[in-house]
Amino acid sequence: MTTRPGTPGGDPPRPSGPGPAQDPVRPLVKEKPMQVDVRLSPGGDSFVAEVDGRPAGRLDLVRRDGVIVYPHTKVQPEYEGRGVGSALVRTALDAARAEEARIVPLCWFVKEWIDRHPDYADLVQAT
């Protein structure tokens, strides 16, 4: 018995259109891993990220009565999708945990990052 692709018992359906290696917009390129350096700003109002000494992003914060509020994260366009935002959030949350602070993630990126890393959910201030 012969079956057609994509039918029960047959081969899985074949994707149509260009695949990742043929994508004319974003070719499949293996980039070398970046070293993202994250530190607390001198004023203590944000975490800043640098790549090769160049500004790559920032995570703003506001401290209120033992709670740290994260209102905004910004990553420079040339570094989007390359782990800079994740490095900022992880560093900020690790610092909050070290000082035993609760957090309020107003920034959508911080909220979604915590959803993907539930081991940090215990830091979120109960509402």
What domains sit in the chain, N to C, each tagged with a CATH number?
34-122 (3.40.630.30)
Residue 108: phi and psi, rounded to 5, are -60, -35
Mean pLDDT of 47-51: 97
What's at 61, amino acid-wise?
L
Q: What is the DSSP letter of 77?
A: G
51-82 b/e (C-beta count within 10 Å ≥ 16 → b): beeeebbbbbbeeeeeebbbeebbbeeebeeb
pTM over 0.85: no
Mean pLDDT of 78-89: 96
Residue identified by tokens 């000082």 is 99
Instruction: Provide CB contacts within 8 A for 73, sequence distance 6+.
Output: 57, 58, 59, 60, 85, 88, 89, 107, 109, 110
User: Measured in whole angstroms, how far is the alpha carbon of residue 114 from the centre of its chain?
Assistant: 9
Q: Please tell me the predicted confidence (pLDDT) of residue 12.
A: 46
